[in-house]
Amino acid sequence: MALINDLMGLGLADQLASVVSTATLSSAPTLSSSGSLTAAGTTITDALALTSFVNLVGTAAASTGVKLPVDCPVGQVVYIANNGANSIKVYAQSSQTLNTTIVGATGTTVTTAQALQCIRQSNTNWIAMLHTKAV
């Protein structure tokens, strides 16, 4: 009970504090993961369509890319890490945007040793945060 009170004292709503205080690593949901992916295509139409929540691109020829999932629910997070030799483009669907300004067909660049965390904010927008991976 003390943890719930502490969490609520930090500003968490009581319902969320109750859930967070009982969550453990063993009770966390398992997310699908794909490793050693090969980025493909040079546009949104032929980019590799991602099907997992956690994605590791191991092979990236110049100017290739990946596309965020179509059926990902609002609020879900998709991670893309680039371990390839070249930068990749990450595209939203053609009817969506990244950070409300980057149209899906334009995409955003993820260089080698970078990762992109994308949160489905609405049916038409993803919030994208670029990170430099620890080496």
For 53-82, how does the pLDDT look when each residue is reduced to its tens digit (9 = 90+)? 999 999 999 999 999 998 888 989 999 999
Residue 93 φ then ψ, to 5°? -65, 160
User: Are the C-beta atoms of 93 and 81 separated by less than 8 Å?
Assistant: no
Backbone torsion region of residue 85, taken as left when φ is above 0, otherwise alpha when ψ lies between -120 and 50, otherwise beta: alpha
Calpha distance 70→86 (Å, rounded): 25
Q: Residue 69: give its domain's CATH number.
A: 2.60.120
Q: Between vectors from CA 130 to CA 127 and to CA 133, what angle results, nearest 5°? A: 140
Calpha distance 13→81 (Å, rounded): 32
Per-residue pLDDT at 55: 94
Q: Do 118 and 66 fall into the same domain? A: yes
Q: Do 76 and 117 fall into the same domain? A: yes
List, in sequence order, every beta strand (DSSP E) within 39-104.
48-49, 54-59, 65-67, 77-82, 88-91, 97-98, 102-103
Per-residue pLDDT at 32: 79
pTM, rounded to two decimals: 0.78
Compute the half-sphere exposure of residue 133: CA atoms within 13 Å on the CB side of its CA. 16
Q: Do 68 and 53 fall into the same domain? A: yes
Per-residue pLDDT at 7: 64
The residues pairing with 103 across neighbouring beta strands, listed in sequence order, are: 97
Per-residue pLDDT at 71: 85
What range defines the domain where residue 2 resides? Answer: 1-28
Per-residue pLDDT at 34: 85
> How many structural domains does the chain have?
2
Q: Do 49 and 1 fall into the same domain? A: no
Backbone torsion region of residue 54, taken as left when φ is above 0, otherwise alpha when ψ lies between -120 and 50, otherwise beta: beta
Per-residue pLDDT at 49: 96
Per-residue pLDDT at 4: 66
Q: Do 49 and 5 fall into the same domain? A: no
Q: Do 2 and 66 fall into the same domain? A: no
Give every residue of the chain whose pLDDT is below 70, as ranges.
1-4, 6-30, 135
